[in-house]
Structure 1
Amino acid sequence: MKEQKGQLILAVSGVKNSGKTTLIASLLSKLKQKGLKAAVIKHDGHEFEADIPGTDTWRFGEAGACGTLVFSGTKYMMVKYQPSPETDELIACFPEADVVLLEGFKYSEYPKIEVIRRGNSSRSVCDPRFLLGIVTDLRREELDAAGSALLEELPFFDLNETEVLSDWIYCLWRQRQTGRQ
């Protein structure tokens, strides 16, 4: 597994509309209850608007600033107008996080869990060498046969039971802390 300063880096992958965002949102509250700090990195292929049009920081960017930063007593947001850095550099932005969840990244070499949801997909699209588990509302035998031998060994998690999945992620994180792989 790739790691940064003892962090657990885990991609939550799957096809579009498989439920990755919903799963991550549910996991975040459960990981927090376990005392873990978790961060999320999400790729947006649609060139998102980083600021609200009309705000001061938006105006600064429109006027040519190479970046802006706005902060308050409890948070800050930085926008840099430059090509995207490597994923490892983005992960390094969260040194305080115990767990960094990468939403998407299905073609990456990061360890991952894949979301496969009935009516949306029925087979894994990730390289099985990097899969640690499957989150699904399908039975194992309902998955398409492609790569099924490799999937047989993976743990399966019910899409609607994120408590069990969060326990498993916590165990993975603990293993990182104690040096066991």
Structure 2
Amino acid sequence: MKTQKKQLILAVSGIKNSGKTTLITALLPALKKRNLSTAVIKHDGHEFEADIPGTDTWKAGEAGACGTLVFSGTKYMMVKYYPAESTEELISLFPEADIILLEGFKHSEYPKIEVIRKANSLCSVCDPRFLQGIVTDISREELKYDAGEEVEEIPFFELDETEPLAEWICQLWKKKQSSL
């Protein structure tokens, strides 16, 4: 019987310009080095251009196609002109991923890592019930919690501690696999 893996879903949350994308792009090579396949799903609060204007697939979309797909020998890109039903539906598009990082999602019930930078905030904005770790350049004593309750057991990582953070995430993934 084929062994089924359980995906680790983690939101990388924080206020605007806290460093979520920077953290994710630093983590990806560190997770890949640990042989973990990682996908990223980002919510955009604004409409975005899903294809490159002027390409054949963009022209097909502009002409009314309900979706387009372009592929090569190593990758493909699909654009569907239809709203996603749920985050779970989007997660299901990556069955090959060991880990899925959701960029944003600070108000979701997904387990999360919050990025907090002194330059733009001293306050955690995530519900402590779902907070798994904090990546920051401030001390535990300086941190304030919007929810009003301090959580002592949450691990803290420095902004530049990519390797220890990746190892911690790897251990979370392994723990999830052992619960199969």
The two structures share one fold, judged by TM-score above 0.5: yes
> Structure 2: 5+ residue runs without aligned partners?
none
Instruction: Provide the rounded CA distance (Å) in 1 between the counterparts of 2:151 and 2:19.
Output: 20
TM-score, scaled to structure 1: 0.94
Percent sequence identity over aligned pairs? 71
Return the offset for 1:119.
Answer: 1.2
Mapping for residues 11-160 of structure 1, pairs under 5 Å: 11-144=11-144, 146-147=146-147, 149-160=149-160
Say whether the 8 Å CA contact 2:137–2:158 is kept in structure 1: yes
TM-score, scaled to structure 2: 0.94
Residues 145 and 65 of structure 1: CA distance in aligned 2, closer, same or farther (over 3 Å): closer
Return the offset for 1:146.
Answer: 4.7
Cα deviation per residue 1:112-167 (whole Å; 9 max; x = unaligned)? 01000011111110111100011101011111265564322211011111100000
Say whether the 8 Å CA contact 2:128–2:149 is kept in structure 1: no
Instruction: Provide the rounded CA distance (Å) in 1 between the counterparts of 2:54 and 2:72.
Output: 19
Return the offset for 1:45.
Answer: 1.1
Instruction: Provide the rounded CA distance (Å) in 1 between the counterparts of 2:95 and 2:57.
Output: 26
Return the offset for 1:26.
Answer: 0.5
Return the offset for 1:5.
Answer: 5.1
Number of residue pairs aligned between Structure 1 and Structure 2:
177
Match of 2:173 in 1: 173
List structure 1 segments (4+ residues) > 3 angstroms apart after TM superposition.
Answer: 145-150
SS of residue matched to 2:122: coil
Which of the pair is proportionally richer in helix? Answer: 1
C-alpha RMSD over aligned residues: 1.5
> Structure 1: 5+ residue runs without aligned partners?
none
